[in-house]
Structure 1
Amino acid sequence: MVRPFARPSSEYGRGHRGVDLGGQASEDVRAVDAGTVSHVGVIAGRGTVTVLHPSGVSSTYEPVSADVTVGQVVARGERLGALDGAGSHCAPRVCLHLGAVRDRTYLDPMALLGARPVRLLPLQPVP
C-alpha cells in the first residue's frame, strides 16, 4: 500500500477517499467482487471504472484503460482493464487508486476486503 484511506471530515472535507496500491503499468486491474459496471470514463484526466456490487457498495478503480462497458456484469476477479502508468497521482510511481462508497459515504476498501492490521507475535513466549 502506497497510501492508506483517510476518512474525510465532511462530505467535501480533506481526506483520502480510498487506498493507493503500488503496481506496474499495463498490469491487470480486476474486480474486487461481482457486480455491474456502472461507470467507465475519464475523470480529472484519468480513466476510471466503477462497479456496483449487490451489497450496495460501489468500488472505483483509477487510472485504468478499461476493457469493460457500462451495464456489463463482472465476476469477482474479472479483468476490468489495465493499470495506466500515465496520469498516476503517485508519480513517478505507478499505483491503483481503489475507492469504495455506500450511500455517499466513503469507506475504507481494505476493511471491506477483510484486511486487518498486522501484529507480529513472538514465536516463543517471552520469559
Structure 2
Amino acid sequence: MDLMLVLATVWSLLAGPAAVPAPTTGYVWPLDPRPSLVRGYDAPPQPWAAGHRGVDLLGRPGQPVLAAGDGVVLFRGAVAGRGVLTVAHPNGWHTTYEPVTGGLAVGTQVRAGQQIATLTAVQSHCAPRACLHWGLLVAPDVYRDPLTLLRALVPILVPLTP
C-alpha cells in the first residue's frame, strides 16, 4: 500500500472526518483513458497561502472532460482568463475542471463519466502541453486531493501497546 495513503488514513482516523474525504464510490477519472499525473495536490500550510489545490492530469487539446461523479453543473465560465466548470455532487462536495471550453449549461444534471466540457490548451498552466486541473472542495474554501475520490481509504489498525 502507498505510504502516503497509509499516512492519510491514519490522519483521518486521528483528526476526524473533516481531515480527508471519506471513502467514496461511483467516482471516475475525469479523462479517458486514465491520464498521467503531471502535478499532485499540495495543501497550503494556511488557507490563504500558496499551494496546489488540485491535481494536473495530462491530456490532449480537444479531449472530452468527464464528470467525476453524479451531480449538477454549478458554474461554467471564465476565471482569470481560463474556462472553468464546477459540478456540485449530492454529498455537498464540488469538483472543478480547468481549462475547458464549451461545457454543459448551469443546472444540467450529469452522471459520472458523462462528457461535461472539452479540454483546451489555451491558458493551460502546463503549456505547451494540455493538462486538466482537477480540484475537489469538501466545504467552502476547503480543498482536498481529488484523487481520494478514486481510491478507497483502508483503515489501518495501529496497536496502542507494543
Q: Name the TM-score, length of structure 1 as normaliser.
A: 0.87
* Higher relative strand content: 1
1:58–1:101: 8 Å Cα contact kept in structure 2?
yes
Aligned to 2:20: none
Aligned to 2:144: 107
Residue 12, structure 1, aligned to residue 36, structure 2: no
Task: Return the alpha-carbon distance in structure 2 between the equivalents of residues 78 and 99 of structure 1.
Answer: 17
Task: Return the alpha-carbon distance in structure 2 between the equivalents of residues 112 and 10 of structure 1.
Answer: 23
Matches within 5 A, 1:19-58: 19-58=55-94
Instruction: Supply the RMSD in Å over aligned alpha carbons.
Output: 1.2
Deviation at 1:67, TM superposition (A): 2.5
Residue from 66, 72, 90 that aligns with 2:126: 90
Provide the aligned length of Structure 1 versus Structure 2. 116
Task: Return the alpha-carbon distance in structure 1 between the equivalents of residues 39 and 122 of structure 2.
Answer: 18
Task: Return the alpha-carbon distance in structure 1 between the equivalents of residues 50 and 122 of structure 2.
Answer: 25
Going from structure 1 to structure 2, the CA distance change for 1:90 and 1:115 (only over 3 Å counts) comes to farther
Deviation at 1:115, TM superposition (A): 7.3
C-alpha offsets along residues 76-112 of structure 1, whole Å, 9 cap, x if unaligned? Answer: 1110111011110001111000000011210100012
Task: Return the alpha-carbon distance in structure 1 between the equivalents of residues 132 and 42 of structure 2.
Answer: 16
Task: Return the alpha-carbon distance in structure 2 between the equivalents of residues 93 and 115 of structure 1.
Answer: 30
Task: Return the alpha-carbon distance in structure 2 between the equivalents of residues 48 and 38 of structure 1.
Answer: 11
Task: Return the alpha-carbon distance in structure 2 between the equivalents of residues 80 and 55 of structure 1.
Answer: 19
Q: Gapped runs of 5+ residues in structure 2?
A: 1-36, 154-162
Aligned AA (1:64): V
Q: Gapped runs of 5+ residues in structure 1?
A: 117-127
Aligned AA (2:145): D
Task: Return the alpha-carbon distance in structure 1 between the equivalents of residues 81 and 152 of structure 2.
Answer: 30
Q: Name the TM-score, length of structure 2 as normaliser.
A: 0.69
* Higher relative helix content: 2
Q: Report the 3-state secondary structure (helix = DSSP H, G, I; strand = E; otherwise coil) of the residue aligned with 1:2.
A: strand
